[in-house]
Amino acid sequence: AAGVIQSPRHLIKEKRETATLKCYPIPRHDTVYWYQQGPGQDPQFLISFYEKMQSDKGSIPDRFSAQQFSDYHSELNMSSLELGDSALYFCASRQGAGGTDTQYFGPGTRLTVL
């Protein structure tokens, strides 16, 4: 079965640079969630989109922005990167309308900021 795809899987950036993470949800899933997991920490919700509209916002820094496109894929844009942004970034998708409520997670993007 198709799963959530995230790219790139690994990313190394310098401080103050920008990064773009991409997420391709499971086909027919219309809801996308972004989570950040720092070393030794639990995943923390950042932001979510339902039918291309932002639906919820969590602890996402103002330096980050995200959007969901017409094909339902989503991108997380991160600017002015800081050392503390080094983390695993997970995308999850869900079929919001008429489907199950289960969120399916992607393999994650490991971002390292030097």
Partner 1 sequence: LAKTTQPISMDSYEGQEVNITCSHNNIATNDYITWYQQFPSQGPRFIIQGYKTKVTNEVASLFIPADRKSSTLSLPRVSLSDTAVYYCLVGDNYNNAGNMLTFGGGTRLMVKP
C-beta of 33 vs 64, nearer to partner 1? 33
The helix/strand/coil state of 1 is: coil
Paired with 19 in beta bridges are 78
For position 61 contacting partner 1 by CB under 8 A, the verdict is no
Q: Which stretch binds partner 1 (CB under 8 A): 13-21, 44-52, 64-72, 74-82?
A: 44-52
Phi, psi (rounded to 5 degrees) for 40:
70, 10
Which member of 8, 27, 38, 58 binds partner 1 (CB under 8 A)? 58
Return all residues near 42 (Cβ < 8 A) that are at least 6 apart.
Answer: none
For position 4 contacting partner 1 by CB under 8 A, the verdict is yes
Omega within 30 of 0 (cis) for the link into 8: yes
For position 90 contacting partner 1 by CB under 8 A, the verdict is yes
Q: Least distance to partner 1 from the beta carbon of 83, Å?
A: 19
Phi, psi (rounded to 5 degrees) for 98:
75, 5
Q: Least distance to partner 1 from the beta carbon of 16, Å?
A: 26
